[in-house]
Structure 1
């Protein structure tokens, strides 16, 4: 009997190729065919969330800037509960926006492919995304309850997608928590935070602006993605590519 999951040899999505600059010969971000491909290969939720984030960034430019959407302990204490959500759509600048959008576009197809299709799949993706973002906000506030330095950005939710992608493999079951794949994801996420902390520290020391990395939000989001993904995965999409021969005996 020969069989394998249909997703065992899943090709890299068009959205991942586009976000990494490898869209291939004959493909262009200005081509309608490219965007049609993106909409059909598990990329819909990532594209939709990217659209919301970019629209919010433009809107904020003309309506008080990202600080008006930012999150901090004192603001929450004053009753600005809505900032638990609005901070996920605000970004400090184009480089901040680009970095988060690149991660969002690369990770979303990997995660969504394991969540099912249609409205239920979109609902599970949204649950994962916002749960990770809220967990990141909660951990940030727990470590910085009285700090006036505001936090903006979707990175908590995006690290949640990173953690979730670590549990997504070719099999219908989630990748085990103590697997090499998860270990590598934890290592890479840790290294990326260390590099960003060092970079932002250097920028802060060389200028007058104070910039800090909200590593707490990254950690909170990553952990939620890591542990919530197995409960959201749909495991009934796997079919046998070849069935066992039937026997003539009873």
Structure 2
């Protein structure tokens, strides 16, 4: 039987019978890398003028008309402040682990993981543009991509390490909670969120990112370098 990453295994023992100490921090390298990418990326961003960075690399729906499509991707790597970057980094670390374990630690698994991360982030930004066509409002941050990790993780939890049903209990409960949080943001604004300040919060991108994660983890799981185990749901 293939072991699920969500199942507990008996502790290993040394030859003298004493249990082997588990490392305090054993997150997969992809989870650590994406967290460093978010937090370290903001540290680099701070070395440059804010206006110059935002004008060149932040995303606005209006950018799509003159063909500045690259900002759909570059905006994912920018953040509005330390609190914004740290919060996204913490959520990315938490929700990256199930995907990283599904895809495996090899290079192929890493490429799948980061392709998934970027694709859900891009779709989240395009979702914001679909709701606000032609808007000059700039958005930055990895929140849409992290929401994609959250949606994918919900399906993996529902499937015991492989993509479960789209409407499993974890997907419904996490999706409902995320919907309520973003509905509050839409109604009262995001000033109560760490790092938001007076800036707006692209709650539309959060919801689109979550939905994209739920939908795309099925096809991506079929590409994972694991030949055995339960087959993912469509």
Same-fold call, TM > 0.5? yes
Tell me, in whole angstroms, the C-alpha distance in 1 between the residues paired with 2:186 and 2:200.
Answer: 7
Question: Deviation at 1:63?
Answer: 1.6
Q: 1:179 aligns with which of 147, 163, 168?
A: 168
Q: 1:156 aligns with which of 128, 144, 148?
A: 144
Coordinate RMSD, CA, aligned: 2.8
C-alpha contact (below 8 Å) 1:172/1:236 kept by paired residues: no
Tell me the TM-score normalized by structure 2: 0.77
C-alpha contact (below 8 Å) 1:70/1:87 kept by paired residues: yes
Report the structure number with the largest CA radius of gyration. Answer: 1
Note closer, same or farther for the CA distance 1:9–1:122 as it changes in structure 2 (3 Å cut).
closer
Note closer, same or farther for the CA distance 1:217–1:7 as it changes in structure 2 (3 Å cut).
same
Tell me the TM-score normalized by structure 1: 0.73
Aligned to 2:39: 54
- Pairwise mapping of residues 91-130 of structure 1 onto structure 2 (< 5 A)? 91-130=79-118
Deviations 1:179-233 (A, max 9, x none): 2121112112112213434553566xxxxx7532212211221111101101222
Tell me, in whole angstroms, the C-alpha distance in 2 between the residues paired with 1:93 and 1:163.
Answer: 25
Question: Deviation at 1:72?
Answer: 0.5
C-alpha contact (below 8 Å) 2:79/2:140 kept by paired residues: yes
C-alpha contact (below 8 Å) 2:155/2:168 kept by paired residues: no
Aligned to 1:192: 181
Aligned to 1:213: 201
Alignment of 1:6 onto 2:6: no
Alignment of 1:229 onto 2:217: yes
Tell me, in whole angstroms, the C-alpha distance in 2 between the residues paired with 1:155 and 1:89.
Answer: 10
| Secondary structure in structure 1 of the residue aligned to 2:156 | coil
Structure 2 residue runs of 5 or longer lacking an equivalent are 9-20
Aligned to 2:49: 64
Question: Deviation at 1:134?
Answer: 0.8
C-alpha contact (below 8 Å) 1:164/1:226 kept by paired residues: yes
Tell me, in whole angstroms, the C-alpha distance in 2 between the residues paired with 1:171 and 1:117.
Answer: 19
Question: Deviation at 1:54?
Answer: 2.1
Whose relative contact order is higher, 1 or 2, with alpha carbons under 8 Å and at least 6 apart?
1
Note closer, same or farther for the CA distance 1:226–1:9 as it changes in structure 2 (3 Å cut).
closer
The aligned length equals 209
C-alpha contact (below 8 Å) 2:98/2:153 kept by paired residues: yes
Tell me, in whole angstroms, the C-alpha distance in 2 between the residues paired with 1:178 and 1:34.
Answer: 34
C-alpha contact (below 8 Å) 2:123/2:208 kept by paired residues: yes
Note closer, same or farther for the CA distance 1:134–1:92 as it changes in structure 2 (3 Å cut).
same
Aligned to 1:30: none
